Structure 1
Amino acid sequence: MKLPLLRMMTELSSRKFISRLTGRFAKSAYSRRWIPKFASMYRIPIEEAEKKLEEYRSLNEFFTRRLKPGSRTVDAAPDSLVSPVDALITACGTIQEGLMLQVKGQDYTIDELLNGSPRISQYSHGYYWVLYLSPTDYHRIHSPCDGDIVETEHIPGRVYPVNDFGLTKMRRVLSRNERLVTYISHDIGEAAVVKVGALNVSSIKYVEPRPTRLERGQELAYFEFGSTIVLLTQDGTLSPRTDLNVGDRVRMGEKLGTLAKVE
């Protein structure tokens, strides 16, 4: 299939009503018969799941499953910034004059990603991580640090795929898709957790009751089907790990860097 035609088909399938239909099926009792096949197809480590496969009432309930206690270790250092998710690192680096450079060959502005928020000036020279969750991954989202939620924003948008095709062949998917942004104030600054919707994602939801004060590794939200997190840190507040690179996998709770004043 030629690339322009594939792009056009992706544009047509990125309408929210497609995701709503997919979500309706995934939440139905009928979908539960697909759980074993889904788990096998994506080689999901079902031994980590909180419940047995037959206890999940729908595919969506299985997809948004919690894990057994102790399945993930949250870095214990009080100044750690940890990964909020299990994911593949698809991009990371220093934000340069408000630009995230060369995310799968494309540049993104913080202004566009954060929908013109008045908070963008705090991130113009910060650090960013783009973390992709495949269908195989655990899809609950946790806090990357201790802190207080100071603002949240829902940004309506499309639901383009956020896999390799979407990020390389479609135009600036991360800032055109639906997003849910959580701003967290910590001891030396602020971090932003940008949850990006994707093709066949019916919603991005906060856990209930919605927290206001967070501990590092505390459950914050979840995706219904695969997607991406963009994690931003305020200018001069992060010393990132030097041994993590694009293409590496991280697990929720794994240290990404140290929160400290950096010149």
Structure 2
Amino acid sequence: MTMKRLSLQRLVQQEDLNFLLTNRVPRIALTRFMGWFSQIRHPWLCRLSIAVWRQFTDLDLSEAREQRFESLHDCFTRQLKEGARPVDGDPAVLASPCDAIVGACGPVAGTTVFQAKGYPYELRELFGPSQDTRTFENGQYVTLRLTSAMYHRFHAPADGEVQHVTYLSGDTWNVNPIALKRVEKLFCRNERAVLRLRLDSGQPIALVPVAAILVASLRLHFVNLLLHLRYRGPNEIACRARCLKGDELGWFQHGSTIIVFTPPGFSLAEGIQTGARIRMGQALMRLPQVPSPSTS
């Protein structure tokens, strides 16, 4: 890493400056501009943009299936080489749906969840008024933050069925730790979707992808819609989409956050704690243990 690049990264990591540059700006306008700019198909412009991007992040494209991109969008939503993300095959394990840095995680305190120390929010505020959240009261949750340089596609954490999607429009605050310590109920303010799944083992889980500045578009394979800031379709989207563990469910246009919710009985997998780095397919939680049938 060059001294110039290191100096740039240290500069943007200063809390006050980072918060100013990524939040005290016209967030939605910049996000819409980025959506337009990233779709420009021009190899020279794409290479230049990636070179600038690398000055601020540890972007690693060595695992990408393709090494040449026509647009920034193609780079953001890149697929990986076959076998780059082995998926934990243990049926008692809920696999991570994405590459991420683990944020706040642990038990849901009744109906209260924490985005950061001292910053609680309620399940119903995140899921929206139409959703029954009682299933996840006193359950477990894990916040998974995708940085801009990470692989941006997300996958099924277990065998099951996607049964419903709720889309909630909102803002595009940055979702990095600096903003999470300053903006109350940030996840409940940002654009997001709630994906309700039922596992083959019978338990319901929820994945909540949350948008952020420069990223407010979500593509899901099982509904023929692009969910974004200009979306004006129905907020409640019923579906019945069969998925196997590790199947790709969709992708973000840039980087953001996915919050995973489970009912009581699940437990965090070994090593899952705030600040840990995890890859898609690694163990995230363990399913409740089913008592063995008694023998007479």
Assess, with a 3 A threshold, how the Cα gap between structure 1 residues 188 and 41 changes in structure 2: closer, same or farther. Answer: same
Identity of matched residues, %: 31
- Kindly report the root-mean-square deviation, in angstroms, between the aligned alpha carbons of the 2 structures: 2.5
The equivalences for 1:46-195 within 5 A come to 46-52=61-67, 54=68, 56-101=69-114, 103-186=116-199, 187-195=201-209
Helix, strand or coil at the partner of 1:47: coil
Between structure 1 and structure 2, the one with the greater Rg is: 2
* Unaligned ranges ≥5, structure 1: none
AA matched with 1:50: R
Other structure's SS at 1:150 match: strand
Residue aligned with 1:69, SS: coil
Structure 1 residue aligned with 2:35: 23
Does residue 213 of structure 2 align to residue 199 of structure 1? yes
The code of the aligned residue for 1:243 comes to G
SS in 1 for 2:135: helix
| Distance of 1:189 and 1:174 partners within structure 2 | 25
For residue 82 of structure 2, give the secondary structure of its aligned residue in structure 1: coil
Match for 1:250 among 236, 254, 278?
Answer: 278
Q: Deviations over 1:205-226 (max 9, x none)?
A: 1136768011111100111111
Distance 1:166 1:262, change over 3 A: farther
Cα shift at 1:248:
0.6
Which position in structure 2 is the counterpart of 1:214?
243
Q: CA deviation at 1:123?
A: 0.6
* Aligned partners of 1:239 and 1:262 also within 8 Å: no
Contact 1:113 1:175 in 2 (8 A): yes
How far residue 25 of structure 1 moved from its aligned partner, in angstroms, is: 0.5
TM-score by length of 2: 0.80
Q: Tell me the secondary structure at the aligned position of residue 141 of structure 1.
A: strand
Q: Find the aligned partners of 2:257 and 2:176 in 1 and give their Cα distance.
A: 9
SS of residue in 1 equivalent to 2:151: coil
Closer/same/farther in 2, CA of residues 262 and 198 from structure 1, 3 Å limit: farther
What SS is found at the alignment partner of 2:181?
helix
- TM-superposed CA distance for 1:227, in Å, is 0.5
Q: What is the Cα deviation at residue 2 of structure 1?
A: 11
Specify the SS of the correspondent of 2:74. Answer: helix
SS of residue in 2 equivalent to 1:131: strand
* 1:26 partner amino acid: S
**Retained in 1: the 8 A contact 2:99–2:150?**
yes
- Counting matched residue pairs gives 258
Letter in 2 for 1:220: L
**Quick one: distance in 2 between partners of 1:159 and 1:82?**
27
Quick one: distance in 2 between partners of 1:32 and 1:9? 22
Deviation at 1:84, TM superposition (A): 0.5
The answer to whether residue 241 in structure 2 is matched with residue 228 in structure 1 is: no
**Distance of 1:262 and 1:113 partners within structure 2:** 30
Match of 1:259 among 269, 273, 287: 287
Superimposed CA distance per residue, residues 139-188 of structure 1 (whole angstroms, 9 cap, x where no aligned partner): 00111111111111111111000012221111211111000111110113
Q: Helix, strand or coil: the match of 2:59?
A: coil
Q: Which amino acid aligns with 1:164?
A: P
